Amino acid sequence: MENVQDQQVATPTPKPNGGLSWKGIIEVFYQPAAFFVKLKDNPKVLVPYLIYGLITFVAFWAIKDLMAKAILEMPEVAERMQLQGEMTPEMRNMMASWQVIQWTLVYLLCPLAAAGLAYFWGSFIFGGSAKYKQLLSLMLYGELIFAASHVVLVPLMLAKGDLYLTFSLGALASEKSFGNTLYAVLSKFDLFIVWEIIVIGIGLSIIYGFPRNKGYLLSVLSMGLLTILAIISAIVSGMFR
């Protein structure tokens, strides 16, 4: 009779979440908590950064003529142009293209700054533990929510020829222009920005292991602080205009 030796059955190693980078582009909108649980152990940066950057660039490029028109209609710019002479179509196109590049770069820097602020508050002030890459990944996916506002608004802007269409309180301002301080301030209270801050708060509570309310506070102190700084900048600019 042959001796039968027991064979050890190898336990399969759990595979990483396949396609998490791409799934997150959709899941961050309807199941952020479940998505961020997976993202915590497998943070993704390249794909969300590319998608966010592409949406931002295309959106600005699509409305670059409206942006150029709005800038040239600002009183201080119009006065300066009168002194310098009429702007040629080539100069106008160059100015519009430069604005697209400038604002795209500003938007691409926002997730880096927000992740840095979250790391400072969460790790140094609140005593939590997280890696910068985790926070950057979270901020990038959160920014996709704000980028979704471009997808919705840009076609409406082009159809109506109105750069100042918005989902924010800026719609209540009597004068809608970049030079109007009230409009600049109210436009920061945007439906998509609020949505973004809430979702990022959920993610921060998961990554740091904080209570949900503390995650929301940390979100306001990081991503929200950038919005607050933009509001302060608008007020200060209006004072010296």
pLDDT in tens, 39-48: 999 999 999 9
What is the pLDDT averaged over residues 212-218?
96
Contact 104, 217 (CB under 8 A): no
Return the amino acid letter for 112: L
d(CA 220, CA 218): 5
Which two structure tokens, joined as six digits, stand for 158? 């082009």
Residue with tokens 């919005």: 227
Helix (H, G, I), strand (E, B) or coil at 178: coil
- pLDDT digits 0-9 by tens, 165-196: 888 888 887 777 766 778 878 888 899 999 99
Say if pTM beats, i.e. exceeds, 0.95.
no
d(CA 25, CA 142): 9
Answer with the residue of higher pLDDT: 224 or 83.
224
